[in-house]
Every structure is written in structure tokens, then in C-alpha cells.
Structure 1
Amino acid sequence: MTELLGADTQRPPEFLAELRDIGAHGGVRQVETPLTAGDGRRLWISWSIEQRVGADTILAPIFLVGTDVTRMHESLESALLFRDIAQNSPLSILITDARRKILFANPAALAMSGYSAEEVVGRQPRMFRSGLTPDETYNAMWAAHGSGVSWSGELINRRKDGQVFTERLSISPIDDHDGQLRFYFAIGEDSSRQRELETRLALVTRSDALTGLHNRVGFVNELARLTRCPAVATAAATRIAVVHIDIDDFESINRTFGHETGDRLLVEFGRRLADSVPEADAVARLGNDEFGLLLSVPEENSGDSYDELSSLLLAALRPAFVIGEQTFEVSSSLGFACFPADGKEPGELLAGAASATRVAKRDGGNSAARFDGQLNTEDSERRQLLVELRQVIEKRQLLLHYQPQLNLQTGALIGMEALLRWQHPEKGMIPPGRFIPWAEESGLIIAIGEWVLGEACRQMREWLDAGLPPIKVAVNLSARHFRVANLCQSVGEALARYQIDPQTLELEITEGAMMLDVATSTRTSEGLKGLGVRLSLDDFGTGYSSLAYLSRFPIDVVKIDQSFVRDITSNPASAAIVQAIIAMSHKLGKIALAEGVETEEQMHYLRRCDCDEMQGYFFSRPLPAEQVSALRSAGKRLALGSNADAAPPTVLLVDDEPSILSALNRLLRREGYRVLVAGSAEAAFAVLARESVAVILSDQRMPVMTGTELLARVKTLYPQTVRMVLSGYSEISAVTDAINKGSIHKYLSKPWDDEHLKSEIRDAFRTWRERFGRDGD
């Protein structure tokens, strides 16, 4: 019998007891035992043991019939694992049968709805309906399920206590092996607070943080609303006047008296402008010292109306402004454009009014000018620039400068933004603001964008060949370039030509450009992510600034516009916007990068807000490639100060494989972390006794002591640490148990993705700062 069962198999005591009992008394027995197969697999066998007594009362041989029940055991283990995960998931999980009768609701779903399990099981999800979800939403959901595909969207539901809430759901139909529908699986979360934050942010970002007036986005929206209003469009007796106002020589006030005084003057200027024309449809601060005004004027004697309005505004803005103990006499230049005579699109009308303002300034300022159609061609110099722009690539007059991007928590240089420059043979260096708009309008930006992409990849290869470690480089995409059908192909070819790791290339696109065509933008961004490149959303906070858009596109980095960073330390509104953007980005798993950081105070404030990265003149202006090489070779870092908060974040790596320790060490040191290593649990305890460690990342499968066992002890000995484990799938049950017991914060699977690992480490340090940092030690 031993030979039959396998001599290397160790039978449990109950199995041997059954054999002895049946040998003594006969009968039938049923028992399950594990069995090690010849290839090392572990099987479960269900044994049927039978011995029949013959007529002469002599015991007959024992018959054994074994049945492989391994799959049954695995199914049971999977079910238990799903139960543990579902019970502890922060997301709601609901399972119904094919007739939509609820079979299971996890604690998160019950807490969200306010019902108990007994009240929901056996009923249908319609019990949660509020009657406020549009019928079109349900129609789309049933249409998707009818086609056998998953559906994602938002439902407005009602809790047991009657409170209405918005739930973001993903519902999937599940078929059996014969293709018959068996279950519906729904997973969701309460998105009410996110929607509220989105609404508040939308309101804030359409207003100017300094003056409280409309900002440029709000002004353009109001202009669009007026020009598309049927009553205005059909009214022959009424026209919309767009007024662009610029304070003459405002920069001299900033230079002489400082930005704080200049800001107070802007506030008073905006208030006086609004008071002077109370019947205005909209008053806005469009830029630094630029203001805008929308006003309905009668078509009859419109020339006299414009003359009267310009006289009124110039007279109202002319008296001196008293700011503290200083008195300022300022003058203004005004430009007028009219709908529909001077244009029918908001951007066209505002551009026309701004062109008229330039004419007023050219004539000495302190005056007003009407839009003239001839202004469309601008002056001869700009026309000549457009002609020359068509040949800049062939004549090799374009070049890239690179502005460093820094990790705000470690000070490490972790990336570059490639910025375009035009080296004109006669006019010298021409900044992009003077030629990019013309390139966009003429379509030349497509070819220029292709050149920028290729040149950035070429430079990345040159740095690699020079022995410098890989570094992320961000390249700006124009709105036109982003919508080109072969963009993904062009990016892929550039990466292949110079053998660049896609994860080190980041493509920047403004939120406004992405919203020009949402469907195309979605396809393009998903195609680019399929190549492995990173995507960043530029100038966030100046346009749509919507959580829905952020979650719809696979964005990695959210760039906070410099207009909010400029006065972040003194303007509560700007500070609130920046804090909201950072919180939103982190909630959605994205990196927050602040642009235009020019002072040490701004840098420290952003660090306290947990902003991840920055770029700006405080560290460096954009540099030519050769100066970047010298900067990187010298290992220059962002100076974070001398206080304890500026110490490099410390991470301890524990693994018994030197090659893995080396790879992790190299990766995290490039991010600026202080990295300690240990090759065993014993060595890790020694390091922890000597060093102050914030985050621990341990391998799971180690001799003597597993990672979860190590971190369980560390939890008791060093509770002010964030503990994570590297684990294979086969060890998930042990890791899950450790998570449930609070021994570890999170587990990362092997093999790891570098970008995902860096993101998790960044999140772990953020968690540490929230729990123990700043005030913790």
C-alpha cells in the first residue's frame, strides 16, 4: 500500500488511523490528503477506502480509489480570498444574479447606502434609485449590458435616510462556461465630495484670484454666451462692444515699489473700472495689467456711443490712486471691437480689441482706438517673420533649451522641460511668444513639433552616450500637433531611432487643447500611453480644471500654472487653488508639478503643501544642452534649507538578493532619497537601531524570516515607519493577512515597473509625513 500511495508522501495521522480501523473492522471510509506529484505540484486527492468481509470471515484486500479534487480546493481558497478582499475594500461591491436580485453587498456598499445586509439581499438595486438620474443614463447602461459589455458612469442614488448622493459605478455582466449570463458585478464609490470640489474649483478658476473679477476664461465664456444668445444675434438695434484696457507702463510701478503695491493698485483699478460702468455685462482682469469689459451698445449712432464710452472710461481711470501712503497717477490705453461687425468668435473679438489697444499704445497711450480690419495683417516686421518661419528648420535656426525640474521633497534633479528657441541670424534670439502663435495659425507648428520631438530624443541619446543616467525630458505638444492622425507613429519612430526608454519621454498638452475634441484627445492620449510615454497636463487651473477630465485622460503629471504660484505666499485665493489642485492630483494618483517658482518662500510653501515637483528661475533658467550636461555632471541639487524638515527622506531596502538591492538602490538614489540597504532581517534590525528611517521596503521571500514577519516586528519596535513588502502572486494570502493586521501599509508585486515603484515610494513618504512627519519627531 505504501508503494501505491507514493513512498515520499507523508500521510496525515487521520489517514493512517482510517487505514488501521478499516483493516481491523472492514467497511468503507472517505478521506482527503495532499499528495506531491512527480513534477513537484501539490495535489489534493479524495480517497475512497473499502474492505469487504468474505463468507469465511477472512478480511478481503483493501480497495482504494483516488479522485483529484485539487481544483475544488483552489476554488475554495479563491472564494475565501475574494471574501477577505471584498470585506476590506473601501469601494462598494454589489453582486446580483441574472434577474438583478442582490446576492452580496460588502460593508462599504452597506455603509454608503445606510442599509443592513438583511435589508438589501434578495432585493433589486432599484431600491437605491432617487429618481434624479436621467433616463438616458439607464438606457445607456442597459444597452451596454444587452451587448454583453461593461458600463461605467454615475448614478444619483438615495440613502436609507433619504439623503441623495452621487455614485460612480462600473457594472460588468458575468457569463458561465456556456456563455449564459449568470451574474452582474458592480464596484463603485461615492463621488459626491469630488463633484462638490470640482464645482468649487470651477467657480474659483473662472475668477481672478487677486481682484475677484472674471479672469480670461470667465470673460471669454461670458462673451461666448452673449454672442450665441438668440436675442442678441437677431437684435438689429444692439451690438456687443468688447473693450480691452491696458495700464500704461505698469511694470515700472512693480519694479520701483514692489509687487505687493502693484497688486493693490490692480485691485483698486479693477474696482474703479467696474464702478464706472455698472451696466456692463462683464468686467475682467485678463492678464497682469490687462482688463476687459463687455457692454451692449445701440447700433444707432454707434460711433458716438464708442466715443462717449471711451471718454467716460478714460476720465474715470485718470484720477490718482492712493495706495497706503503712496499716490499713483496712471494712464490707460483702450481698444474696442464690436460683435458682429469685427468678428463672430470670442477669441477673434478679443484679439481685435487687443490689436486696437496696441495701436493706442503706439500713439503714446492714454487714448482709445477702434479695431481696423487692416490690423489683421499686423506690421511688416511680423509679416516678414512669418515668411522666414517657413524656412527655420531647413536653415537650422531652431534650438532647444532645457529647464530643470526638481523633486520638491528630496531636491534631486529628476527631469527637464525642452523649450523652443529661434536663433535668428539678424534679430538674435527670438522668444517663442513672438513666433509660436503665428506657427499655430499657419499650420507650420506641425513640422516644428516634429523637429522638437526628434531633437529632444537625439539630445537624450547624446546624454546617455556620455555616461549620464537616464532622465525624464518633457516636450510640449501644440493643439494642432496633438490632433495629427500619425502622432503616435511619429513618437514611436523617434523613440526607436534614438533607442530611448519611452518612460523617460513626457509629452505636455494644455487642458484647453485636449478639450477641443474630447473623443480624438482620448484616443490619442491612450495611444501615446500604449507606447509607454508619460503625459502631463500643462497650465492646469486656467481652463476647464475638471475632475471629470482629469480622470478621463491617462494623465501622469498635473502642472500648476505659474499665475497661481506667483502670489501663493500672500494671496489666500491663489493658495487655496494650489492646495486644491495638489489634493485633487494626489487623490487621482497623479504628480503635481508647480511652474514658475522664483523665490525660496514659494518653494518652501509648495513643499509644505506636499507638491511633488517644481521648475522655475529659483533653481535655474532654461539652459542650452551643454550647460545642462555640466549641471548634471556636477550633481547640483535644489537647496532645501538646513532645518530637520529639509533632511533627505530615508528609505530602507531589505532583500537577500544583491542584484535586486543594487537595482532598487540605483533607482531611488536618482530620485534623491537617502537609501539604506540590508541583506537580511538581522541586518535590517541593526540598521533601524542606528538610523532614523521613514519608509521600509522589504522582500517577502527571505531565509530565516519572511518580509511580513520582519515588518510585524518592526511595527512594534518602530511604529513611526511606513512598511511595504515586495511579493510574488503566490504569497498574496500571507501579505493580505499582514495588511489586515496593519503590519504593512501596501505590497508591491514582482517584477516591478520603475515608474509605478517610484510613485508608490512617493506616496509612502507622503503617508509618513501625514502621520508622523512635520510634527512627528
Structure 2
Amino acid sequence: MNAQTANGGIFHSMAFVHLLLDRQWRIRSINRAGMAVLGYANAEDLVGKSLEMLVPPGQWDGKRLAAALKLLEQGQMPPAFAFDLQCRDGQTIPILWNLDQPAIEVGGESGILLLGFDATAIRHSQEAIALFQSVAENYSGSIVITDAQSHILYVNPAAQRIMGYPIGELFGRSMKDFRSDKTPVEVYHQLKDALARRELWKGEFINRRKDGELYVESKTIAAIQDENGEVQYYFAIGEDITQRQEYEKQIERLMMFDQLTGLPNLGAFQREIAAAQESARLGKQQIALLHIDFDDFKKTNRAIGSDAAEQVLTETAVRIKEILREHDVAARVAGDEFAILIGPGKSEVQADSIEIARRVLAAIRRPYLHAGQTITITASIGIARYPDAEGNDDLFGNAMNATLRAKNGGGNDIRVFEAAMASDENWRRELLQAIERNELVLYYQPQINLYSGAIVGVEALIRWQHPVRGLVPPSEFIPLAEEGNHIVEIGEWVLAEACRQMRAWQDGGLPPIKVAINLAARHFRQPTLPGSIALALTSQRLDPNLFEIEITESAMMLDMVAAVRNMGQLKELGVRIALDDFGTGYSSMAYLSRFPIDVVKIDQSFVRDITTNPANAAIAKATIAMSHKLGKKVLAEGVETLEQMTYLRRSECDEMQGYYFSRPVPAGEIARMLRQDRRIAAVPKSEAPARDTILLVDDETSILSALKRTLRREGYTILTAQSAKDGFALLAKEPVKLIVCDQHMSEMTGTQFLSQARMMYPETVRIVLSGFSEIATVTDAINKGAAYRFLTKPWNDEQLKEEIRGALRHWRELYGRERGSGRQSKLFRGGI
């Protein structure tokens, strides 16, 4: 077969230089475009000559070509390179080359294909060529250059990878060849119009790879014109955002639905209420809200254990859903609290709500079965109606107030909200007197920098020092203050007292630290709030950058106009703003970029089981990553254990607060902590483990001992755990590379443990060790990616050692380079 036949019409139709060479770099064929570029009329004038004769003196680099050919023979794509060609008239033309190997023979041996295009119009110096090469070859996104008819002239390695084609199958093809029918037609119209106006175009395509797989690519395309304004080339850069879009959808779903029951969470439920209220207002209809709270569930939880309690909650959600009609909505709004939205409808809404409440109460009273154990619980239900209450907060507050009355009456009952419930004059009078008599006090909980370990701030938390009842927590009197319209007055007191204490600490010679206060929704909406804060800070001579306002997502969303106004004014003052309880309310990532938020606080409900619950760990990690990308700091609330703290630190969370360091304490105790420089041990943000660390998990002590004996002289750091719980605790604290886990354990199977470990610690290699060789178990573990190997007991010591070595080699192949480059690799991953 000769070169002419092998390449056919495609060879000569290419719009760039196309050379077929033998192993001595002699020209065997050249396409017509190449002859035109070089100024030759007949191919015979070039065939048989060495390529070196066409290269200007001093530019020929045979060693470089040989090295590129060697890479090609090893199955790797060599990088593009540049050298000039000398035309027949003596002029030189800069050419950007790519090396390929056609499936033909030249003179009895495999040929070499050189593909190049005239780079004169794009690059005017050797330095520019080198710069373009370096940027394009190392850029993580795609770079594609086409001619004016959209035929491909150049693609970088990332573009080849994204499109799924080898370079030889891309040159000369139209970009239209890679379209799918999934991209809206208007996108192409917008692209065409923008390029016709010589404007930069940005947008997204849904294209198809060589293997048929669809992918989403974000593209920026610009036209390159000559001196006459005529388009010569199109230059496009892109990014494969398929996985990112899927990840964002998953995170949004995680944040809108309760992971245990599958019901909508509080944020999603509040959106349903807002929509229903608007519909009811327009149609002059009613809606009803049922608030359901288990009676003494904390006591029940302690008695039956967390697994049984979770089953009760899950089964309750199922029982509630079985009772709902088509348009009713149920949600899990807190730990053991559910809510149901009924309506909109006419006068029958109240009767319907009472009937549904009775059926729910009866369903909850039915015994629950767990592991042969019968569990009996009761609940209290409060009902509130719109238009008796305006707004989400009022409707929820009224329903919760009715629930509280049901509980106070002994529980296991239903109460409908009545206006009289909101007017408890005795409590209101006492609370008003508490303000006048200075019975309110502030306690402070330290906020810790997770890397230096030092106290960097405190959160001010209000308490009521009642003359009879003692120290009353805010959960018992703040709802009353909100009902009685005292919440703004209390908020103003907290503001003034926190500023007074900041001044007292600084006057006492203590280092300045930030102080954060919580604001209720009603207080935050006040137009006078920025002025009050400015006055309090000025009167105490305080730096606004050390003062922080915490506001919840739901409170911020209640009045968007007021939120934007007050946030803007507070930022002008220099005050910091923290978004509290992130993930429990609306939880849209868009709000982080829309509002001038400085700190995102991860709610303690996600932190509580962050080391064992993959969903909560994913939410926390995603929150940290997205917040950092937007320039926000992240603080985790409710950190109670070393494992939680270590996991958050390894996830690059900035700060924490919780009982692990300190409970909320009086101001004097904070002063003592600061004088003593009390802190947690500082740990580097990212550090590759010095030795290979292996975690062994087995509930049999003898097996763990035998494994340790087998591996003791291999130079590994060996960690052991006798339960899944202990295993997760060690994974949170230690940089483990390899996990070896027994398949048959009491808490969960080895494959279940490794599946969770894989989701939470993907940069680990995992081996299952079992006394049984169940084919289904082996297949399931490996197919799901939970296990790298499945080994059986008893083991051969030397074989086990070799499997361990192989697994660690596998770890180094996958993660060694990234780990070795440390934290910087994460910061600069993604190229330009």
C-alpha cells in the first residue's frame, strides 16, 4: 500500500502541511496544501529528500524528534512542538507540529506522520510560540483553534481527552461533527450572532464524545481577524462541567431533603408554605399547618438506642405519608419534629386538619418493632391556620405554641391555636421586668482557629438569670419575647452589652478578638439596625471588623429587600456578617454569592455524625469548598469530639466552636482563657503521611493480633479497630492509606463499612478479609468500588504481605503525586 492510497482524498484535502516520513526522516509524500505553503509545484521535488534539508540551519533537532517518536511508540501522545520550514524562495515559515503514526507501512516499516499548520498569523516570535505551547499543553481545560469554516487546526491534550478522540482523527474535521441534538437550537443562534458581530461568546454545549457519551462543556469563543477585519481563525477555550453540574444537583438535593426519612427539610417546607400562603391570599382561601412533636423522645432515645430511634423516625415518616392526600405536604423540620401543610381550601380546611391530626396521632401510637423489641411512643400535635397568622414565622410559631400547650397538658393530644395562647401576661410581665432589672446576662462560647489552635473570637449567647428558676436558656424565653414584641428590645440590649464587654476586655490588656451576636429575624429587618450598631461601636471605641452579626438563612429570606439594605449598610460600616445554621434552611449556594457574607456556619446537625454519615460529610465538604471559592470563611458549630475536630481540619474548615473546647462561659472565664493563651494543639493544614499507614478493622482480637504480627517488620504504621465506630474514629484522626476490614462484623458488614469509607475518604485503598468466599459479596464489593481486593482467611503470610505492597503501590499510582505536592496542588489544580 502506498501513501497516496493510504491517505486518499483526506490526505490532500487537509488545509495544513501533512508530511509522511520514513524512519530516516525522509519525505515519502506531501499533501497539496503543504506544497503550496512551501512554494513547490511538483511533489517529486521533495519526495526522497531529508526533512532536515527543509529546516533552516540551527533549528534541526533530531534528538527531540526521536524522543517524540519514542513516546508515540509507547502509546503516549507527544506534546506539540515548533520549528520553521524554508520555502523554495528562501523565506521561512513558523509551523506548529503534531506527531502521529498512521496505520500503514512505508518501505516495509511503519511510517511517521507530521501534521502542522502555518502559525505566522497567530505567533510572531519564537518566544510567543514557546509560551503558547507551554500554556496550551498544560492547561486543564480544552483549547481548540479552527479556520474560518470551523475546521480544526489545533487541539491541546485536554481537548483530546474531553472529546475522546486521538489527535489524528480531529484535524480538519468540522466542530459541527461533535454536536448532539441536546443543545437548544437558540444556543447556536446566539453563538452565530455574537461571532458575526465580532463579539466574545460564552455559553454551554451538550456535545458527544467518540464513544457516544454526552458531556456538558462550558465554552468561550472568539474570532481572530486579519488586518482587514476578515475572520481567519476561531479560538475556543472550554471546561468539561458534566461532573460539576451533577455534583451541584446532588448537593442541592441533599440540602433540600432530610437524609434519614426522605421528606423535605425545613427550608423546602418553608418554600411550600410561602407558595401556599400566596395562593390562599389570592383565592381568599385557608391553609393549615400541623406541628408534630414526639413526647419525651430524648428519654426514649436513650432507652432504645440510636439505631432503634432512627427506625422509629423513618417508619413515622412512612406512616404520615400514607395518611396524606394528593396535595398535602409533609416534612421533617427538626430531630423528632414533623410538620404537615394542608390546603389551600375553603372552610373545610380546619375540619380536615383536625381529622388528619387524629389519624397521625393514632398512627404514631401504634407499636414500633425493632430487633424483636416493641417500642411505644406518643406525640403532641399543634394546629395553626392562615389567615389567622401572617408569614412563615407566625404560622410556625402559632403551631408550635399549640404543640407546647398540648405537651403541658400531658401530651398525646391535639391543640388548635387560639389567640389567647399568645397572651400569657404573667410570662410577658416577668420578661419585661427581667430587662428592667438587668436579669439578662451574656455567656460566651470561644471560636477556635483550626490551624493555629488559638481563640480568635466568641459568640455571645443570652441567658435569663431568673430569681426563682435560676439560669433560663434562651429556648424557653426567646419565643415568648418574639410573641410579645420584646425581641427587638432584647436584641438592642445584647448589642450594647456585647460592645461594653469588648471594651472591658481590651481595657484589661487582653488581645482584641471578634465578638458575634445573634439577631432575630424581626430585629434584622429593622431599618434602624445599622444606626444602632454604628452608635454602639462608636460609643465604645471599637473596631467594626471585630464585630460580627449572625443571621439565619430563613430569617434572611423573610424580607429580601430589608436584608439587602441592612447588609449593605453594615458592610459599609465594616461589620462582619455570618450566615448561621447553614444547610438547615433554604441552603442555596446562590445566596453565598448574592449576599455580602463573610462567614458560613455549618450547623451542628451535620457536624454531629460527620465522621460516620457520608451524606452529612459530603454536605460539610461541599459547603467548605464552595464557600472558599467565594472567598468566605467556614466555621463549624457543635464540635464535641477530637474526631469531629480532626475531620473538619483535614477538610480545610477554618474555625470551630463547641463543647470539645468549651461550653458557653461567663465573660470572666473568657478573660482567663485569653490570659493563659488556652488553645488546641496546632497542626499543619495538609501533610502527607511520613510512613504508610494501614487501618485493620476486625471485631476479633486474635485476628488483629495475627495481622499485626504478620506486618510488624514491614515498616508500616499499623492502626487497629474492633468495631466500625472505632474504625471511623481512627479514619477521622489519622491519614490512612490502606484499610483492611473483616467482612463479618456485628455492627455492619465489611463491604458496608468500606462503602461508607470510600465516600468519605476516597483517597484510600480498601481490602476485604473474610473467612467465606461468597461470590455475590465479592462481586458486589468490587463492582461498587468499595474493595480493591477480596482476600480469604486463613491467609498465607507472604501472599498477604505482597497483596499489601501491591495495594500501597496502587495508592501511590493514584494519589502519590498529588499528596506529595501538598496543599499547593489543591490551590493550583485546574491550571489557568
Give the direction of change, closer, same or farther, for the CA distance of 1:510–1:345 in structure 2 (3 Å limit): closer
Please name the residue that 1:369 is paired with.
Answer: 415
Distance in 1, matches of 2:548 and 2:221, equals 33
| One-letter code aligned to 2:315 | E
Of 430, 441, 456, the residue aligned with 1:399 is 441
Of 222, 231, 236, the residue aligned with 2:272 is 222
Distance in 2, matches of 1:224 and 1:255, equals 36
User: Conserved in 1, the CA contact under 8 Å of 2:638 and 2:659?
Assistant: yes
Q: Secondary structure at the match of 1:286?
A: strand
Distance in 2, matches of 1:318 and 1:160, equals 56
Of 189, 211, 225, the residue aligned with 2:261 is 211
Of 448, 462, 485, the residue aligned with 1:420 is 462
User: Conserved in 2, the CA contact under 8 Å of 1:419 and 1:622?
Assistant: yes
- Verify: 1:329 aligned to 2:379, yes or no: no
Give the direction of change, closer, same or farther, for the CA distance of 1:278–1:514 in structure 2 (3 Å limit): closer
Q: CA deviation at 1:134?
A: 11
Give the direction of change, closer, same or farther, for the CA distance of 1:518–1:158 in structure 2 (3 Å limit): farther
Please name the residue that 1:515 is paired with.
Answer: 557
Of 427, 452, 456, the residue aligned with 1:382 is 427
Q: CA deviation at 1:562?
A: 1.1
Q: Secondary structure at the match of 1:265?
A: helix
Of 554-563 and 261-270, more deviation after overlay is shown by 261-270
Please name the residue that 1:429 is paired with.
Answer: 471
Give the direction of change, closer, same or farther, for the CA distance of 1:163–1:332 in structure 2 (3 Å limit): same
Give the direction of change, closer, same or farther, for the CA distance of 1:430–1:247 in structure 2 (3 Å limit): same
User: Conserved in 2, the CA contact under 8 Å of 1:410 and 1:648?
Assistant: no
| One-letter code aligned to 2:359 | L
Q: Secondary structure at the match of 2:677?
A: coil
Q: CA deviation at 1:208?
A: 1.7
| One-letter code aligned to 2:588 | S
Q: How does the TM-score come out when normalised to structure 1?
A: 0.58
Distance in 2, matches of 1:432 and 1:78, equals 66
- Verify: 1:594 aligned to 2:636, yes or no: yes
| One-letter code aligned to 1:363 | G
| One-letter code aligned to 1:315 | A
| One-letter code aligned to 1:198 | E
Please name the residue that 1:244 is paired with.
Answer: 291
Distance in 1, matches of 2:664 and 2:531, equals 29
Q: CA deviation at 1:499?
A: 4.3
Give the direction of change, closer, same or farther, for the CA distance of 1:114–1:495 in structure 2 (3 Å limit): farther
Task: Render the CA deviation track for 1:382-411: whole Å, top value 9, x for unaligned.
Answer: 33246447x54xx54443221011233453
Please name the residue that 2:29 is paired with.
Answer: none
Structure 1: 5+ residue runs without aligned partners? 1-75, 96-103, 173-184, 641-645, 652-741, 747-760, 770-777
Please name the residue that 1:623 is paired with.
Answer: 665
Q: Secondary structure at the match of 1:366?
A: coil
Give the direction of change, closer, same or farther, for the CA distance of 1:463–1:575 in structure 2 (3 Å limit): same
Q: CA deviation at 1:540?
A: 0.5
User: Conserved in 1, the CA contact under 8 Å of 2:577 and 2:596?
Assistant: yes
Distance in 2, matches of 1:532 and 1:455, equals 20
Distance in 2, matches of 1:462 and 1:91, equals 54
Q: CA deviation at 1:629?
A: 0.9
Task: Render the CA deviation track for 1:388-438: whole Å, top value 9, x for unaligned.
Answer: 47x54xx54443221011233453333211222333455543333344445
Q: CA deviation at 1:188?
A: 9.0
Of 571, 577, 595, the residue aligned with 1:553 is 595
Q: Secondary structure at the match of 2:671?
A: helix
Of 462, 472, 475, the residue aligned with 2:517 is 475
Q: CA deviation at 1:113?
A: 9.7
- Verify: 1:565 aligned to 2:611, yes or no: no
Please name the residue that 2:680 is paired with.
Answer: 638
RMSD of Structure 2 on Structure 1 (CA): 5.8
For residues 642-681 of structure 1, the aligned pairs below 5 Å read none
Distance in 2, matches of 1:530 and 1:192, equals 39
- Verify: 1:582 aligned to 2:624, yes or no: yes
Distance in 2, matches of 1:91 and 1:213, equals 39
Q: Secondary structure at the match of 2:359?
A: helix
| One-letter code aligned to 2:400 | A
Q: How does the TM-score come out when normalised to structure 2?
A: 0.54
| One-letter code aligned to 1:628 | I
Distance in 2, matches of 1:253 and 1:168, equals 52
- Verify: 1:351 aligned to 2:401, yes or no: no
Q: Secondary structure at the match of 1:208?
A: coil
- Verify: 1:465 aligned to 2:507, yes or no: yes
Distance in 1, matches of 2:570 and 2:221, equals 27
Distance in 2, matches of 1:348 and 1:484, equals 17
Task: Render the CA deviation track for 1:92-116: whole Å, top value 9, x for unaligned.
Answer: 9999xxxxxxxx9999999989999
User: Conserved in 2, the CA contact under 8 Å of 1:156 and 1:166?
Assistant: yes
Distance in 2, matches of 1:368 and 1:571, equals 35
Task: Render the CA deviation track for 1:183-223: whole Å, top value 9, x for unaligned.
Answer: xx999977665544333222222222222222222333333
Q: CA deviation at 1:626?
A: 0.7
| One-letter code aligned to 1:197 | Y
User: Conserved in 2, the CA contact under 8 Å of 1:93 and 1:187?
Assistant: yes
Please name the residue that 1:318 is paired with.
Answer: 365
Q: CA deviation at 1:545?
A: 1.7
User: Conserved in 1, the CA contact under 8 Å of 2:209 and 2:215?
Assistant: no
- Verify: 1:293 aligned to 2:331, yes or no: no
Give the direction of change, closer, same or farther, for the CA distance of 1:131–1:513 in structure 2 (3 Å limit): farther
Q: Secondary structure at the match of 2:411?
A: coil
User: Conserved in 2, the CA contact under 8 Å of 1:566 and 1:596?
Assistant: yes
Distance in 1, matches of 2:404 and 2:290, equals 13
User: Conserved in 2, the CA contact under 8 Å of 1:202 and 1:544?
Assistant: no
User: Conserved in 2, the CA contact under 8 Å of 1:404 and 1:417?
Assistant: yes
User: Conserved in 2, the CA contact under 8 Å of 1:280 and 1:293?
Assistant: no
Q: CA deviation at 1:325?
A: 4.3
| One-letter code aligned to 1:534 | R
User: Conserved in 2, the CA contact under 8 Å of 1:540 and 1:561?
Assistant: yes
Task: Render the CA deviation track for 1:597-654: whole Å, top value 9, x for unaligned.
Answer: 22344334434434332111222111111101111222222369xxxxx689899xxx
- Verify: 1:202 aligned to 2:245, yes or no: no
- Verify: 1:266 aligned to 2:313, yes or no: yes
Please name the residue that 1:283 is paired with.
Answer: 330
Q: Secondary structure at the match of 2:471?
A: strand
| One-letter code aligned to 1:316 | A
Distance in 2, matches of 1:80 and 1:499, equals 57
Give the direction of change, closer, same or farther, for the CA distance of 1:269–1:193 in structure 2 (3 Å limit): same
Q: CA deviation at 1:288?
A: 2.1
For residues 50-129 of structure 1, the aligned pairs below 5 Å read none
Distance in 2, matches of 1:619 and 1:86, equals 49
Give the direction of change, closer, same or farther, for the CA distance of 1:289–1:86 in structure 2 (3 Å limit): same
Of 421, 442, 452, the residue aligned with 2:494 is 452
Distance in 2, matches of 1:501 and 1:91, equals 44
User: Conserved in 2, the CA contact under 8 Å of 1:342 and 1:371?
Assistant: no
Distance in 1, matches of 2:425 and 2:267, equals 31
Please name the residue that 1:723 is paired with.
Answer: none
Q: CA deviation at 1:500?
A: 3.8
| One-letter code aligned to 2:293 | D
Distance in 1, matches of 2:590 and 2:127, equals 38
Give the direction of change, closer, same or farther, for the CA distance of 1:555–1:336 in structure 2 (3 Å limit): closer
Give the direction of change, closer, same or farther, for the CA distance of 1:578–1:241 in structure 2 (3 Å limit): same
Distance in 2, matches of 1:167 and 1:494, equals 51
Please name the residue that 2:706 is paired with.
Answer: none
Of 586, 604, 614, the residue aligned with 2:656 is 614
User: Conserved in 2, the CA contact under 8 Å of 1:592 and 1:612?
Assistant: yes
Give the direction of change, closer, same or farther, for the CA distance of 1:314–1:486 in structure 2 (3 Å limit): closer
Distance in 2, matches of 1:333 and 1:636, equals 45
Q: Secondary structure at the match of 2:334?
A: coil
Give the direction of change, closer, same or farther, for the CA distance of 1:197–1:619 in structure 2 (3 Å limit): same
